[in-house]
């Protein structure tokens, strides 16, 4: 990501953060589960904890965008947990589409082409890192 793209993601995320976090997370999961109903069964019936975890994780990633390398271990561990949840590479497209839709809905006129490109780049980097880590053999040590 370029420095400008990192800034665009941070600034637009700050705008999204002015909306009640539960509303943002709710919009995201509603979109994901409406477009991909089969994914719903992978998640707990009570989504309250999930909302908090998702927003916390996004905050951590976005705060550290300028030094994503420092998150490599966390991302690999997150990926291994996702393997246990049953996540498959194809699911990342679905999750990415729901995320972009949520951001577009929340940002309105601030969802510009450069902002969109910055988020697509950001999500692609993180999801590729997760998919790669999911495909690695489990470590013995």
| Size of site (CB under 6 A) for ligand HEM | 19
Site for ligand HEM in 27-86 (CB under 6 A): 39, 42-44, 50, 53-54, 57, 78, 81-82, 85
- Residues with Cβ < 8 Å from 10, sequence gap 6 or more? 62, 65
Cα end-to-end span (Å), the chain: 33
Q: Which is nearer to ligand HEM, 3 or 90 (CB)?
A: 90
Phi, psi of 75 (to 5 degrees): -65, -40
CA pseudo-torsion sign 106, 112, 115, 117: positive
- State yes or no: residue 125 binds ligand HEM (CB under 6 A): no
- State yes or no: residue 127 binds ligand HEM (CB under 6 A): yes
Q: Which residues bind ligand HEM (CB under 6 A)?
A: 39, 42-44, 50, 53-54, 57, 78, 81-82, 85, 87, 91-92, 95, 126-127, 130
């Amino acid at each position: 990501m370029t420095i400008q793209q990192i800034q665009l993601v941070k600034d637009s995320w700050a705008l999204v953060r002015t909306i009640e976090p539960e509303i943002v997370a709710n919009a995201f999961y509603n979109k994901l589960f409406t477009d991909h109903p089969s994914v719903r069964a992978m998640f707990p019936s009570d989504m309250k904890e999930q909302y908090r975890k998702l927003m916390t994780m996004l905050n951590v990633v976005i705060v550290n965008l300028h030094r994503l390398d420092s998150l490599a271990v966390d991302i690999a561990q997150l990926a291994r947990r996702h393997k246990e949840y049953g996540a498959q590479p194809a699911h990342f497209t679905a999750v990415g589409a729901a995320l972009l839709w949520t951001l577009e809905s929340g940002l309105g006129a601030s969802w510009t082409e450069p902002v969109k490109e910055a988020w697509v780049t950001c999500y692609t980097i993180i999801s590729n890192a997760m998919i790669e880590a999911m495909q690695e053999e489990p470590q013995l040590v």
